Structure 1
Amino acid sequence: MLNNHVTSTVTLSRLNSTRCSPHLDGYTDWLVARRYTAATIELFLFGIIPLGQWLTQHDMPVSSFDHRALEAFRCDRDSIGQWRHTGGRRTVKAAFVGARRFHEYLVIKGHVESTPSASSLPKLLEDFAHWLQIHKGTRVVTVENHIYYLRKFVASLGDKPDAYDAIAVRGYLQTIAKRYPMPTTKATFGSVRVFLRYLVAAGLVTSSLPEAIPVIRDMRLASLPQYIVADDIKKLIDSCDCMPLTARRDRAVLLILARLALRASDVAMLNITDVDWRGARLRVGGKNRQQCWLPLPQDVGDALVG
């Protein structure tokens, strides 16, 4: 439900005033089912507001928001320079990203016609997507993100891996780095790296080809320490008492992160049924949905009970 993910009455009112409003509850539930994080869902919903305004300006019903309309919306946002939405230090093309995901939802639900070219994948990418899901347990959302960046890669270098070499791969990535901002560049590099590793596993390229992809270092974070010392962790956990309303929750989350070295998304996906109290262990889904059990330290268990 939309109300579960938008707390601002002003934002909720703006969303409900758009032509997209009748679809937003179903759209939100669809995003949740695909295991997007709360922050990402909020980002996608942010894009609905300018999209709704654009639909009204062009007197266009949602049923007409096909791939041609999506491209027209992209061009319009590009021309007026309203591309970016900044959340903290992360800057993304929120309006178009949200509109593109909403368009995908409309296509899947049969509300608009699908894009002929977008509905078909090169067999090379089909096999890659199948490998990620079956052999690596990768989430559908992650697979879709990889495919999004790899379409252009395969279109540029071709669908014959035996023609790939380090010069061609690096040349393509250099073009991406010059043309796109850092978040897009890093995502592209990561997707190409995973794709080349798949090709190695399939025996389609040499094992050294993934090494042709350089590592991108984010200089914004260069001043941050690589780890937090034990004394600072203790101070951080003790600081939870300064916020009585959320102290118990924050303390439990920080203890899980500190004691079990989980990712934030792992903690966010935890459920009470993942705790085996008798066996003193915790079930974690992991990055590729490969479940495993971790020992439950006493202080973490106490924090969860509290």
Structure 2
Amino acid sequence: MFAKYFESQQRVDELSGSGGSYLLDGFAAKLWEIGFAEITARRHIRAAEHLLHWTDKKRIPYTDLSQDAIARFKKHLKKCTCSRYGHANPEGLMHGVRLFTDYLREAGIMATSDVGDTTLGPELLVEFCRWMRERRGTKDSTLATYGISIGKLLRNEGTDPTNFTAPRLRKFVLDESSRQGLAATKNCTTALRMFLRFLIAEGKCRPDLDAAVPKVANWGLSSLPRYILANDVEKVIASCDRAIPVGIRDYAIVLMLARLGLRAGDIVRLRLTDIDWKGASISITGKSGRPTKFPLTREVGRAIVDYFQRARPPGSTDAVFVGCRAPFHQFANHCAVSAIVERAMRRSGVACPSGGAAHVLRHSVATAMLRDGTSLQDIALVLRHRSTATTQIYAKVDLPELQRIAQPWPEVQSC
């Protein structure tokens, strides 16, 4: 397999004769299968080779490549003096390492019990993730969310918990809240409290420091739905260039969001078997895990077919929508879908009224339905709200109806 990537026979012989050459050969075949460009694949093979060289020096078996070992290798890169291995771009090299360890797990060579791969960040964060898995059974997806805020904290305040103080923690939360929305701020405070409780339990910081994290004020139904007008929705859809693969994919995604009122996560979870072509329906599995059938309109169906025929790369995943660059995996999370909508809005010149561009389209669907005379009960069914109380927020944007029930302002004589 090496000959597909390297012209030099000397380099091929060098890889073939190295320790763990069968692992590298299998990894090279995997990179070829998922469509990496040759120059990129060579970089990733080089990264895997460097990792194997380091594990050999440290006498760490391939099967015991734990999360701690990967974190140690990342630290090693900062002061690496290994001959033959450059380390000008440690982050790029670690991307190759992650791909290699993914391959080892898929091939059953490397154990999966200790590798939730939440992050390859600071050791303190790795310890926290392990502690949460062992003590609380926390899922890796939750730990990945926690890791975003905790990673920022450790980069800002340092990795020595004895230096954490209540004022600095409060300032960190306030700074973060000024840059993000309510939901993200609440996730941040939850993550910090859990992290501080771990530090307290391990005797690494003051025992009362978790109380320093402020609570986030949140009043139900106090906000207005963020939406764009129907004409602007059409501009966003039309901004996708259907002459190129990425534009064909983005058009299908934006169209589904704008016509069906789906969440970004629904697009991520959509599978090939969820589309019933004969019955002209799509089965959407929402946050609750319960599937709901939506009609497959001719417009949406044609967009998906066009994506399958002209833009979707070949691969083993059954996800409907995948990345346009190798490796052709499904989207990691809802943020990737929201980023697609954000780019479409920028191209169309439509201002996004809030963060979470994909959700703005969902709000826009509901707002348009209400203005067309659809009842709140029917809108709740389309949006899959468990309670119509959640849907009542859209009544705030029905200005004609609000004007009908508004009471006149009582007049008083001036003093």
User: Could you say which TM-score interval applies, normalised by the shorter chain?
Assistant: 0.3 to 0.5
Structure number with greater Rg is 2
Give me the TM-score of the superposition, normalised by structure 2: 0.36
TM-score in terms of structure 1 length: 0.46
